[in-house]
Chains A and B, each alone.
Chain A
Amino acid sequence: MPFPRAPRLPAARRLAAPVAVAALALTLAACSTGSAASTGGAEPAGDPVAGGSLTWGVSVEPVCYNPQRSGQQNSYPIIRNYAESLVGKAADGSYTPWLAEEWEISDDETVYTFTLRDGVTFSDGTDLTADVVKQNYDAITAEDSTLNSRAAFAAYDNAEATDDHTLVVTLAQPDAAFLDSVASIGASVLAPASLKADGDLCQPTDELVGTGPFTVADWTAGQEISFDKRDDYDWAPGYAEHTGAAYLDDVTYRYLPEATVRTGALTAGQVDVIENVQVTDTTVFQDAPGFQYLTGPTTGTAFSLNINTRIAPADDVRVRQALRDGFDLDALIENQYLGTVERAYSSLGPDSPYFDEDLVGSWGNDVDGANALLDEAGWTDRDDDGYRTKDGERLTIEVGYPEPYVRDERDVLLQAIKSQLKENIGLNLDVQIITGALFSDQTAKGTWTVYPNTLPTADPSNLFRSIFSSEGFLYTAAEADLVLDDEVAASRASLDPASRKEALDEIQATVVDDARYVPLYHPVYTVAAKDTVHGLAFEPQLDSPAGSYDVWVQP
């Protein structure tokens, strides 16, 4: 094989070690997480400069470019360049004007009156009117709608356009998560022509028309998509850093599924920004001259173990608590992620205003306590391999981790936990990597065992509805003793932050106390870039990188 002397460029030398490790491990995982601190070798930037081009190396091509249909977090940074929502969500969790300049909420919290901005046009030249927004929302919530955004509009009853600029949305019942849904990318407003088009608009053709600061210039499936800026754009969201047209003349997103290849492409200067930086490559960019390294906020759910409490021996709360406390989570996370992520105490991320800080330090790494619980539960015998047994049966809890969701070497973390649990308390955590199809079969039948997962950012009421209520995917309505339907309903019944927090705290505490849910760590979205790139940010509604509107390049 032609393999001449080692490359001489310093960037390549820095790259060589992690690349070789990754290549040897034949790791196919496309995603990775990174540091909890945002750092950069960037000099003070000076004033933004308009003009220039930028190329992103991104890990995944959107399966579907239609914002209302896509459920894929990696697609959002790309889609946000051409699709916009009525309301923006700022980094502090507050809502800002966007396509709507203001809104009023009725006292009973069921009627939302949005006033649209003047002069907003779609990229095909048509005007944004209240009626167009109504058509969009009606399409999302239609009886036969298969649009992904439908779930977030559960409380939506109807909308009326009282004039061109006024949209009155009526909810069937109060929903504290509704404004969040309106701000979501799934509720992006598409042009009338798009709504009339045949098909599902999954491809970024001329038919997929939004109001965003960029329009699609060129697209090669599986390779890249490029955008040109709209010179007449003047309705940036309230949280943006500037107003008017975007700085960049054009921006390209190149699809590079291999993490190693993304790292190499950035170090070699073939792209300007990459996302999903591999943990082992963090040091290549963090505090490195010429580069910057950014991590997003964490407001989604932690990477956690959902334990199926219907299946013995996990139906015994003492066994679950022993599992929860039988290993040193801090040490494992530090060892594996080298301080790039934070150990979790609750399901919500610490950047969420609804994070229950009372849980911090309240559980974990109590081996003696765990052993006492197992003794009490009757798992007192030991077999030849050192595992606890009861009535001749080994203390085994199965974990079915769907292969498509394995990333960030989370399977390695589970193996480390398995090894400590065996050593410390004689529990056999049987970690199995299963197919996504087998998992969806198990959820349909309720026979899933322990499901390790994380959910992307959304309003906590929506997140908890998915995991802990009977409308979610893990439990059924029949299991009244397992689900937290009342608490989830309470958390969205009112806009009052104090009463919401009370309900959400109760959910977080309940599931950790009875150990049906063991949070492990808070994953973060990572971005690395040349230090000449400025204005990179994360969209708070998603925790993922924002579109390229505020981005500019130092000449």
Chain B
Amino acid sequence: MTSAAVEVQEAAGPGAGPTAAPAAGRHPVLRRLVTRVVTGVVVLWAAATVAFWTLQLVPGSVADILAGDLADPELRQALVAEWGLDRPAFAQYLDFLGRLAQGDLGTSYVQRQPVLDVIGDQLGSTVILTLTAGVVAVALAVLLSTATVGRPRVVRGVLSTAELVLVSVPVFWSGILLLMVFSFGLGLFPVAGGTGAQSLVLPTVGLALPTAGLLSQVLRESMERTVLEPFAITVRARGVRESLVVWRHALKHALLPGMTVAGSLVGGLLGGAVITEQVFGRPGLGQITLLAVTNKDVPVVLGVVLLAAAVYVAVSTLLDVLYAVVDPRLRGAR
């Protein structure tokens, strides 16, 4: 393979990262896995703990919030008794950890369903939305960035500005604009409903645009640097077409920073999904989270926090693996 020499050459360059020495342990893969799992559990515990005590610090007692304006004292007392809200916060915290260890997230104060069901019922819809939006965003970003890399400054400037607009426009606003035009105006897509591919189009586009804008900028920046590097000149000198230079070489080098940004964008996608679901009247975690936070529905808030932390752990682990796949310099660490 012709590119092998190029990669070796680049690896020796000034930009080369610390290539880990071959692992010392007898079962490096197993050890790495165990470390990962332990770290993951610690992250989850820390997230749950911080969330639990933050909710304790928020003013207002759960019983008061649940009882509401019109409630009488007897109803309030019954609620306190039902949920054990009169017990010390630390005892409630230990209870919560104990249940958590058994895989029980508790019961929603407001919806009165097991938290696992509350989240589980809605998770699928949010996952589908964020996944399709993520895929569309990545595809769009790759297309936009590769199409413009190395183009005249004006073209890049215009596109870069457009991307900046995409990044800055709140998904709430772009969602309503999309609805006005394509649903209310042209009647191409239904306004609401989580069923069918048609109803997924507008929310996906609305959610994907800002992510695509940011990702595209990062990819282009990185590729702009790469196409000027000596190895790219070498490649061109061999008569390789410019588009191939971009697609085969520059893009590959841009993948690492791109992946890092994409990883952190997962959080943005989840947050955006909450608002997108609200605008489009889609089922999903959005409504649940909003409701849980405003009602101080502690078990559900903790469930959502744990879920977010778990997603974070999973994404960072996945990224670690993918780095090694993309960047041969990191493979030594296996």
Contacts and interface: CB of A to CB of B under 8 A. Distances in A.
Interface string A20-59: 0011101010000000000000000000000000000100
Nearest to A463: B70
B284 interface: yes
B111 A64 contact: yes
A268 B170 contact: no
B81 A268 contact: no
Nearest to B58: A437
A463 to B, nearest CB: 8
A61 B60 contact: no
Given A224-B193, A436-B60, A11 B294 contact: no
Contacts of B169: 1
Contacts of A26: 170, 172-173
A16 B180 contact: yes
B279 interface: yes
Q: Which bracket fits the contact residues of A?
A: 35 or more
B287 interface: yes
Interface stretch (A196-204, A233-241, A320-328, A419-427): A196-204
Interface string B62-99: 00110011111111001101100000000000000000
Interface in B171-215: 172-174, 176-177, 179-181, 183-187, 190-195, 205, 209
B112 A222 contact: no
A443 B165 CA distance: 44
Given A146-B82, A220-B194, A444-B64, A435 B113 contact: no
A494 to B, nearest CB: 22
Given A7-B185, A19-B180, A63-B110, A223 B283 contact: yes
B281 A63 contact: no
Interface in A485-504: none
B296 interface: yes
Nearest to A144: B78
Interface residues of B, number: 66
Contact of A61 (B183, B287, B294, B295): B287
Nearest to B297: A63
A1 B60 contact: no
A301 to B, nearest CB: 11
B125 interface: yes
B112 A473 contact: no
B93 to A, nearest CB: 19
A2 to B, nearest CB: 8
Contacts of B183: 264-265, 268, 270
Contacts of B181: 3-4, 7
A338 interface: no
A222 B294 contact: no
Contacts of A254: 192-193, 281
A261 B58 CA distance: 33
Nearest to A15: B184
Contacts of A261: 176, 179, 191-192, 279-281
Contacts of B60: 435-441, 444
A81 interface: no
A437 B75 contact: no
A199 B111 CA distance: 10
Contacts of A145: 75, 78
A254 B280 CA distance: 11
A7 B111 CA distance: 41
B75 A455 contact: no
A436 B295 CA distance: 8
Interface in B275-334: 277-284, 286-288, 291, 294-296
B166 interface: yes
A264 B179 contact: yes
A481 B73 CA distance: 21
A501 B96 CA distance: 52
Contact of B65 (A2, A64, A440, A471): A440
Contacts of A28: 172
Nearest to B166: A1
A52 B60 CA distance: 48
B54 to A, nearest CB: 12
A441 B61 contact: yes
Nearest to A470: B73
Nearest to A268: B184
A258 B176 contact: yes
Interface string A49-90: 000000001000101100001010000000000000000000
B132 interface: no
A448 to B, nearest CB: 12
B185 A146 contact: no
A63 B72 contact: no
B71 A222 contact: no
Contacts of B49: none
B282 to A, nearest CB: 7
A223 B184 contact: no
Contact of B281 (A3, A8, A200, A256): A256
B180 A435 contact: no
Contact of B64 (A64, A221, A443): A443
A267 B192 CA distance: 14
B122 interface: yes
Contact of A12 (B73, B184, B286): B184
Contacts of A462: 70
A257 interface: yes
Contacts of B191: 256, 261, 264-265, 268, 270-271
Interface in A435-481: 435-444, 453, 455, 458, 462, 466, 471, 473
B115 to A, nearest CB: 13
Contacts of B113: 199, 202-203
B103 interface: no
A226 to B, nearest CB: 12
Contact of B186 (A7, A16, A24, A439): A7
A229 interface: no
B106 to A, nearest CB: 14
B10 interface: no
Given A151-B72, A265-B184, 10 more contacts: A15-B184, A150-B72, A222-B122, A258-B176, A261-B280, A261-B281, A265-B183, A265-B191, A270-B190, A442-B59
Q: 5 closest pairs, A vs B, by CB?
A: A7-B185, A222-B283, A437-B60, A441-B59, A200-B112
Interface of A: 1-4, 6-9, 11-12, 15-16, 19, 22-24, 26, 28, 57, 61, 63-64, 69, 71, 143-146, 148, 150-151, 154, 199-200, 202-203, 220-224, 254-258, 260-261, 264-265, 267-268, 270-271, 404, 435-444, 453, 455, 458, 462, 466, 471, 473
11 contacts: A1-B165, A23-B177, A148-B68, A150-B72, A203-B111, A223-B281, A268-B184, A270-B191, A435-B60, A441-B64, A466-B69
